[in-house]
Amino acid sequence: MKLRPLHDRVIIKRLEAETKSAGGIVIPDSATEKPVRGEVIAAGAGKILEDGKVRPIAVKAGDKVLFGKYSGTEVKIDGEELLVMREEDLLAVIEA
């Protein structure tokens, strides 16, 4: 299924959480937190400003981003868990 978010919303797929600490200790699944990193799957056209103009979104499909721990709305599409959130909920773009 293809999704197209409206206005200033983006669809994000969470990236897998680290299963090993910096010291080499393996972290069990029950102790890991939800990852706050993800990949943008789709982005809307942009935010509609008060004067009616559309400001384009700063991220595009394929960008790796950081977002708040409790940001967005979780949806399950075709068995895949995705997040839908506004662009303003994104904290940063990860540049490799």
Tell me how far CA of residue 85 lies from CA of 11, 23, 26, 36, 63, in angstroms. Answer: 7, 34, 31, 13, 15
Q: Give the pLDDT confidence of 11-56 residue by residue, as tens digits.
A: 999 887 666 656 676 666 555 556 688 899 998 888 888 898 988 8
Both tokens of residue 33? 């937190």
Query: In sequence order, which residues have a C-beta less than 8 Å from that of residue 85 and are 6 or more positions away?
Result: 9, 10, 12, 67, 71, 72, 73
Reported as half-sphere exposure (CB side, CA atoms, 13 A), residue 82 has a value of: 22
Answer yes or no: pTM beyond 0.85.
Answer: no
Alpha-carbon gap, residue 56 to 19, rounded angstroms: 36
Q: Give the pLDDT confidence of 40-50 residue by residue, as tens digits.
A: 999 888 888 88
